[in-house]
Amino acid sequence: MKILPHRTFCGEFAIPGDKSITHRAIMFNAAARGRAEITGALLGEDCLSTAECMRALGARVEVRGGAVCVEGTEKFRDASLYCGNSGTTMRLLMGLAAGRAINACFTGDPSLSGRPMERVAAPLRLLGADITTENGKPPVTLRAAPLHGADVKISVASAQVKSAILLAGLGARGETSVEEPFRSRDHTERMLAAMGADVRVSGNTVRIAPCVLHAEDVTVPADISSAAYFMALGALLGETVCKNVGVNPTRTGILRAFSRMNVQYALENERTVCGEPVADIRVKKSALRALTLTREDIPSLVDELPLIAVLCAFAEGESVISGAEELRVKESDRIRTTAEMLSAVGADCTATPDGFVIRGRERLAGGNIRSYKDHRIAMSGAVALTASDGGGEIADAECVDISFPGFYEYLRRG
C-alpha cells in the first residue's frame, strides 16, 4: 500500500466499533439465556473468529447487515475452536469454556500459535481447571473438570487474563476474586453486571459469584484504539473529529498521554450508552513535547503505544517509554517492529528491553516499512508516512482488516 504525504489532514470520522466490546458482546450473549442484538459491532477478522467459535460451542450467531443477532446456549458442547489471529478470543474462551466443564482444543494461525497462553492457563488451574499448553503456547487442551472459587493474584495487569478468570468463576463453586497490580480495562465487569452477574469491584480487586447470564442488547461505541490514528493525524496536521468514541476511563490512557504531550483535544457531546461513556473527540494541530511513560501507565494504552511512539518522533525533546514488556508478545514483537518502523521513516528511536527512547525531530523523510502482518504497526506506520515529507509503502498492509476494515479509505478522505 502506497501512502502519500499530506500537508494538512482534516475531517470528521465515524470510526468502527470497539473490538474489545464486540468480542465480549458476542461471547457473553452466546453463553447467556435468551436472545440479543448487537449493533455497531466491529466485523473484522478477530471478532468474526469469536462468532465462529461460539457457533462451534452451540450458540446461534448471525450477522445481518451491520448487526449481530445472538441466541445463547447455557450448555456448551465439546468443540475444536480455531481462533484465527485473535488472542482475545482464545484467552477469554479458555476461561469461559473451563467454567462450562467441557472438552475443547484451542488453536490459531501461525502468529497466535507463538503467543503465550500459560498466563491464562496457570491461574485457571488454581480454580481446578484441567488445562494444558504446548510449551506455554497453543494448542491449548481443556478437559472437563469441576471448578471451585479461588482468590487469584496476577502479577501483570491484563484485561484478558482477568476476564478469563472471572468467566471461569461464573461456573465455579463459590466466589472467585482477581487482584491486579494496576487496574486494567473493565469492559468485562461492566457487561457481566448488565447481564445479571454478581460482580463487585474494590480498588484493583474484582469478585464474582457463580450465576446464569441473561442476554442483553448492546450498542457498541467506536473504538478509541482505532480512533487514535485519526486523532494523531489531527494533532500532527490539522483538525479531526472522531464521532461516538468509547471513553471508558480504563481505556483513555491515550488522552492522558495527549495532555502530557500538549495535544489540543476536547470531548464533546459526552453521554452514556449501554453503561459505557461515549463522546466525540476533537483534536487540533499541536506543538508536541516529549513524553515519559512508566509501567503504571501501560495498561490503559498498551494498544496505542506504537502510535504514541510515532507522535514522540515528531515531538520536541527525548521521550522514554518503559515498563512495556507486554509489547514483546503481541501480534509481533512490537518493541522491535515499532523501532524498526520508525527508523525506516527517518526517526531516531532506540529499542530497550521494555520500551523505547525516542528523540524527536521536526520532520521525517518517509520510506518503506514492513508491517510484519501486525495491524497496529501498519496503521501507526501509515500515520507516520502521512505526516512525513515523502510518504512511502507498507508491505502486507491488508492486515489492518483485523481491527479496522476500510482504514486506508478513511485515510484518503483526510
Instruction: Tell whether 109 and 78 lie within a shared domain.
Output: yes
Instruction: Tell whether 244 and 146 lie within a shared domain.
Output: no
CA nearest to 236, candidates 181, 311, 332, 293: 311
Identify any residues that bridge with 62 across adjacent strands, giving them in sequence order: 69
pLDDT at 273 over 90: no
Instruction: Tell whether 231 and 364 lie within a shared domain.
Output: yes
- Residues 24-39 have a mean pLDDT of 97
Confidence bin at 275 (pLDDT 50/70/90): confident
Lowest mean pLDDT among 65-69, 283-287, 375-379: 65-69
Give how many domains the chain has, as a whole number: 2
CA nearest to 300, candidates 263, 346, 248, 348: 248
Instruction: Tell whether 251 and 351 lie within a shared domain.
Output: yes
Q: Which of 18, 186, 297, 303 is catalytic?
A: 303
Instruction: Tell whether 272 and 361 lie within a shared domain.
Output: yes
Q: How far is CA 386 from the centre of its chain?
A: 24
Enter the pTM of the model: 0.86
Note if 280 is an active site residue.
no
Final residue of a structural domain among 219, 245, 275: 219
Instruction: Tell whether 232 and 154 lie within a shared domain.
Output: no
Query: What would the grid cell of residue 396 be?
Result: 502486507
Check residue 64 and give its pLDDT.
87
Check residue 256 and give its pLDDT.
97
Instruction: Tell whether 203 and 342 lie within a shared domain.
Output: no
Instruction: Tell whether 100 and 241 lie within a shared domain.
Output: no
Identify any residues that bridge with 64 across adjacent strands, giving them in sequence order: 67
pLDDT at 66 over 80: no
Residue 234 CA: distances (Å) to CA of 66, 132, 258, 302, 383: 28, 46, 12, 21, 10
Query: What would the grid cell of residue 181 be?
Result: 497490580
Contact yes or no for 255/283 (Cβ under 8 A): no
Check residue 13 and give its pLDDT.
97
What is d(CA 153, CA 247) in angstroms, rounded to the nearest whole number? 27
Contact yes or no for 305/321 (Cβ under 8 A): yes
- Residues 157-173 have a mean pLDDT of 97
What pLDDT, in 10s, does the model give residues 391-411?
999 999 999 998 898 999 999
What pLDDT, in 10s, does the model give residues 304-345?
999 999 999 999 999 999 999 999 999 999 999 999 999 999
Instruction: Tell whether 183 and 35 lie within a shared domain.
Output: yes
Range of the domain at 372: 2-16+221-412
CA nearest to 232, candidates 224, 221, 243: 224
What pLDDT, in 10s, does the model give residues 101-124?
999 999 999 999 999 999 999 999
Q: What is the CATH number of the domain that holds 37?
A: 3.65.10.10
* Interacting residues of 293 by C-beta distance below 8 A, sequence separation 6+: 257, 301, 305, 308, 320, 321, 322, 323, 324, 355
Final residue of a structural domain among 204, 219, 234: 219
Instruction: Tell whether 317 and 373 lie within a shared domain.
Output: yes
Final residue of a structural domain among 180, 198, 219: 219
Check residue 413 and give its pLDDT.
87
Instruction: Tell whether 174 and 70 lie within a shared domain.
Output: yes
Instruction: Tell whether 213 and 254 lie within a shared domain.
Output: no
Residue 142 CA: distances (Å) to CA of 107, 147, 257: 12, 13, 40
For 284, other C-beta atoms within 10 Å of its C-beta total 14
